[in-house]
Amino acid sequence: MSELVLRCDALGKSYSDGNRIVEVLAEVNLELLPGEKIAVVGASGSGKSTLLNLLGGLDKPSSGRVELCGRNMAALKERELCQLRNRHLGFVYQFHHLLPEFDARENVAMPLLIGGLKRSASLQRAAQMLERVGMQHRLDHRPGQLSGGERQRVAIARALVAEPDCVLMDEPTGNLDPQSAAQVLQLIDELGALQSAFVVVTHDPDIAAHMHRTLELTQGRLEQRP
């Protein structure tokens, strides 16, 4: 059993663009330790979202492999992959992707319900997590009744509620006004003490500065920044 949360070995991804092959990731190597928080930066189009999709098992590599908690994701059946993701991963996107017909507490409870926890226990843990992100006063508000910053705090609570080994974030403050972005950054900082490892794709040097290390995607490779 590997002790690493995530491991990429010679990971490559190409897209076929009509009769051309576009190589986005050439050879990405990464070892993420439990609890480690890293930022991934890089120019627009350098492949950051592509990498995050591979790390999250949402897309398959063209070459190389990604192991999540010691399991090669590309070798799993869809059902096993869903279970692995549910147990070990949390996702935060630029756009919150909350379900509009459910309130904040139900949205946050979703990963627990999918994981098989009873409804009452799931809702209780969701409420605790919402308190942790400063949203205890909005438990029964639907996403449409929340501000952009509040929605993103709910999305972060949903990503963390099942205490995943790894949280993948794609530009978590990218869609927010500066004040909401500052609040979300402060929250990410406070959550830094949690056991979960973080991989945060960001253009924001403030977020990168709050992580343990910053890696830069350049020419299809991931390089440590000094």
Ligand X SMILES: Nc1ncnc2c1ncn2[C@@H]1O[C@H](COP(=O)(O)OP(=O)(O)OP(=O)(O)O)[C@@H](O)[C@H]1O
CB atoms within 10 A of CB 127: 18
Among 42, 90, 172, 220, binds ligand X (CB under 6 A): 42
Tokens 């390089």 appear where?
A: 223
Q: Does the footprint of ligand X cover residue 49 (CB under 6 A)?
A: yes
Is residue 24 at the binding interface for ligand X, with CB under 6 A as the rule?
yes
Q: Is 224 in the site for ligand X (CB under 6 A)?
A: no
> Is residue 45 at the binding interface for ligand X, with CB under 6 A as the rule?
yes
* Burial of 172 (C-beta count, 10 Å sphere; 0-12/13-18/19+): buried
Rule CB under 6 A: is residue 115 a binding residue for ligand X?
no
Our CA angle for 9, 163, 217, nearest 5°, is 35
Nearer to ligand X by Cβ, of 114 and 216: the residue is 216
**94, 172 Cβ separation under 8 angstroms:** yes
How far apart are CB 55 and ligand X at their closest, in Å?
Answer: 12
Is position 50 an interface residue for ligand X (rule: CB under 6 A)? Answer: yes
Question: Min. distance of Cβ 99 from ligand X in angstroms?
Answer: 24
Stretches 45-53, 74-82, 131-139, 179-187: which one binds ligand X (CB under 6 A)? 45-53
The binder of ligand X chosen from 7, 11, 32, 47 (CB under 6 A): 47
Selected binder of ligand X within 48, 85, 96, 138 (CB under 6 A): 48
Say which amino acid occupies 209: A
15 binds ligand X (CB under 6 A): yes
Element of type H or E holding 80: helix 78-88
CB of 225 to ligand X, least distance (A): 16
Helices (H), 4-57: 48-55
CB 191 within 8 A of CB 163: no
- In sequence order, what are the residues at sequence separation of 6 or more whose Cβ sits closer than 8 angstroms to the Cβ of residue 70? 1, 2, 4
**Which one of 14-22, 60-68, 151-159, 177-185 is the stretch in contact with ligand X (CB under 6 A)?**
14-22
98 forms beta bridges with: none
- For ligand X, the binding residues (CB under 6 A) are 15, 17, 22, 24, 42, 44-50
